[in-house]
Structure 1
Amino acid sequence: MKKLFLVGALALFGAMSAQEYKPMAGDVTTEFGLAGGLLNTSVSLPDQGFGVGPMIKARYFKTDDVAYRMGVVVSNTNESNDNEDSSSNGFALGLSFGAEKHFKGTERLSPYVGGDFILGFASTSSEAGNVKTTGPNGFGLGVRGVFGADYYFAKRVYLGVEAGLGLLYSTTGSTRVDSKEVSKGTSTFKIVPDMVTGVRLGYAF
């Protein structure tokens, strides 16, 4: 009886230890992008690819194998040069929302497929003396399917890679100088295969 209890306890402990490597229902993950080599590695916000650029990214695991994902980036720049009596302003907002389905994989490897809806907006303006330039402003939206894998080299800490295919529409407005149009806007629609980021370093908490 004691041997049976001991075997059962060891099996339960082993199962619990294995689960600790990967996130479970209710966990949240966040991550950074890695670039460079072994001796000059840099850490930054993960580049989402598809022309979206770097974003703060998080995932919420609704269940052990289904996660909701979200990315956001907000940029606001204001520069001025008193010597040249000039200034420039820029604002950008990017959002992505989606979901992932994770497969069994191994004790430490978690492969998945997923998808995102992407939305972005940007505006620019500048002044030089009495001349004011506005635009071009930009707007974009799209959807993408992704596939990737996370490898948990330590408990709750992983390295990941991701790639996919996106359908993206973007439009750029006209540029005006003192309310006079000097260039017209453009719009594009494209199918884009891309890496979301080279290597991602993440943590589940």
Structure 2
Amino acid sequence: MKKIILTGCLAVSALFAGSANAQTFADVEKPTDATPFSIETTLGGTYGNGMNWTAPALRGRYFLDNNIAVRLQVGLGDGMGSAMSTTERYYENADGSGGEGTLEFNRMAVNLQLGGEYHFVGTQKLDPYAYLGVNFGFGNQKIVATELDPTDTYNADYSYESSGSYSNIGGVLGLGMDFYFVENVYIGAELGLGVTGFTYQDQERTDNFVVGGTQQTVENKVAGYKESFIGTQGMLRLGWRF
């Protein structure tokens, strides 16, 4: 009987000790205003026809207190997986012999978001919040064709260049949450509704070619336009608060 009682006391003591340790560890896992900075990267996202961020994007947050944080997110690329630069080669003959024409693409795009978050009480590991963000960005593309005509056929007497740029601005409102699965490291999710407007500048193109032994230059301009989208925006994130 004494052995049973002793065993029971030891089991209860171990249970309380384990609970106390877990409680202490949980308190450490979810940081306080003593650790105001966090940095995170997006793991991926779907955005409908709204703002597209290339994954991964990088985001920094600063907690003004336990409830309010400001954030800045930076993404590079057009969000569609386009290469920064591409060179395509076109040969005069099907077997790769003869002259060679080239078609070069050079692209650049930057997307930014400036916003704020309001964090609710949550639990010791789960940190839910509402957020508001203002999105803006810009990009451009330049195409250079050398010894190549507009039908992508080798032509030693033809070359052209074209360039165009765009800018965008919009906003998003939504809900998110962070889950601290190890000390100071969290995985998070966000889901919001956003609107984005794109402004495409005039696209300019210059063609140079030879006709009857005479060099000709033709300049064309395609008028720019505007478009806007509204759609849901969702993403997963991995972050560290320090």
**TM band (smaller chain):** 0.7 to 0.9
- Helix, strand or coil at the partner of 2:101: coil
Give the Cα separation in 2 of the matches to 1:99 and 1:115.
6
Q: 1:93 to 1:62 in 2, by over 3 A?
A: same
Question: Could you list the per-position Cα deviations for residues 68-96 of structure 1 after superposition, in whole angstroms to 9, with x for gaps in the alignment?
Answer: 11111245934445742332211111111
Q: 1:168 to 1:147 in 2, by over 3 A?
A: same
Q: 1:81 to 1:190 in 2, by over 3 A?
A: closer
Which residue number in structure 2 is paired with residue 56 of structure 1? 58
Are the counterparts in 1 of residues 73 and 113 from structure 2 also a CA contact under 8 Å? Answer: yes
Tell me how far 1:23 sits from its aligned partner.
2.8
Give the one of 225, 229, 234 matched to 1:190: 229
Which residue number in structure 1 is paired with residue 178 of structure 2? 150
2:235 pairs with 1:202 = no
Which letter maps to 1:201?
A: L
Question: Could you list the per-position Cα deviations for residues 88-140 of structure 1 after superposition, in whole angstroms to 9, with x for gaps in the alignment?
Answer: 211111111111010111111111001111111010111112211112x1110
2:144 pairs with 1:127 = yes
Which residue number in structure 2 is paired with residue 9 of structure 1? none
Which residue number in structure 2 is paired with residue 114 of structure 1? 131
Percent identity (aligned): 26
Which letter maps to 1:146?
A: G
Give the Cα separation in 1 of the matches to 2:84 and 2:51.
20
Q: 1:171 to 1:65 in 2, by over 3 A?
A: same
Give the Cα separation in 2 of the matches to 1:15 and 1:156.
15
Give the Cα separation in 2 of the matches to 1:59 and 1:72.
12
Are the counterparts in 2 of residues 56 and 73 from structure 1 also a CA contact under 8 Å? Answer: yes
Give the Cα separation in 1 of the matches to 2:110 and 2:84.
12
Which ranges of structure 2 fall in alignment gaps of 5 or more residues?
Answer: 1-20, 78-82, 90-99, 147-158, 207-218
Tell me how far 1:60 sits from its aligned partner.
1.2
2:84 pairs with 1:77 = yes
Are the counterparts in 1 of residues 74 and 113 from structure 2 also a CA contact under 8 Å? Answer: yes
TM-score by length of 1: 0.76
Give the one of 116, 127, 135 matched to 1:99: 116
Superposition RMSD on alpha carbons, in Å? 2.5
Give the Cα separation in 2 of the matches to 1:201 and 1:155.
13
Q: 1:102 to 1:155 in 2, by over 3 A?
A: same
Tell me how far 1:22 sits from its aligned partner.
1.8
Which residue number in structure 2 is paired with residue 29 of structure 1? 38
Q: 1:114 to 1:156 in 2, by over 3 A?
A: same
- Helix, strand or coil at the partner of 2:65: coil
Give the Cα separation in 2 of the matches to 1:86 and 1:98.
40
* Larger CA deviation: 172-181 vs 107-116: 172-181
* Larger CA deviation: 14-23 vs 55-64: 14-23
Structure 1 moving runs of 4+ over 6 Å: 13-16
TM-score by length of 2: 0.65
Are the counterparts in 1 of residues 51 and 196 from structure 2 also a CA contact under 8 Å? Answer: no
